[in-house]
Structure 1
């Protein structure tokens, strides 16, 4: 199993962003990462300074989203959709994106479901429940917005 360290993750995103801005060749995963980074200009300064990124501490109490966690979730959801794992996630995310008219906004809603699944797993000490996760995404995809 691939288990990158915090520094590995931060270096990956900073390097993908640097290479993208410099017009250097990117691997497929770096291309995907740079596309998500492009949609988050609020993170550009964080990603442009690798030493500061490696030293940064993001705490909930500070009221600021951890850009590396956020971007990692985008990549994770993109991968889940590409391989349809858990089975049915591709259809649910595509429906949610179509209903919202925006894949980026849909992914942010999926992140909420993913975060809930992880939180429930940590709280209960049980493995993550992909069925609950998928059900949450499906509920969002089929719910009327009021």
Structure 2
């Protein structure tokens, strides 16, 4: 399993964005990243900061970590592309009909964050069933 370091993740996003701005050829993964970056103009300046690789994003500072947020978008995009856990694509499509595709991804992101946090807190493996259940609940609520 690919497990990049914090610096590798940040370098990937900052270099992808810079390549896009310089009209350079992007890899397919960089293209996906740039698509998400374009949907988040609030992160554009952050990705161009000279100290982006070392910037801190704490809860106390009230700043969202753009690298974490964009990484979660990429992870969810991959999950949707392979429909894993099975049923995530249908739940996403149901959510997207209600709130739009981008907001549906944010709804799923909330579920992903909750399940990751719970797994870390309890020292247990990621629970796909709980993850999908949380997403399906959001998809079926009024």
Aligned positions, number? 142
Match of residue 3 from structure 1: 3
1:1-146 equivalence runs, <5 A: 1-49=1-49, 51-100=50-99, 102-144=100-142
Any stretches of 5+ residues in structure 1 without a counterpart?
none
Following TM superposition, by how much is the alpha carbon of 1:56 offset from its aligned partner in structure 2, in angstroms? 0.4
Following TM superposition, by how much is the alpha carbon of 1:105 offset from its aligned partner in structure 2, in angstroms? 0.7
Per the normalisation by structure 1, the TM-score is: 0.94
Q: Distance in 2 between matches of 1:25 and 1:71?
A: 20
Following TM superposition, by how much is the alpha carbon of 1:125 offset from its aligned partner in structure 2, in angstroms? 1.1
> 4+ runs of 1 displaced by more than 4 Å?
none
Please tell me the root mean square deviation across aligned C-alpha atoms, in Å: 0.8
Following TM superposition, by how much is the alpha carbon of 1:28 offset from its aligned partner in structure 2, in angstroms? 0.7
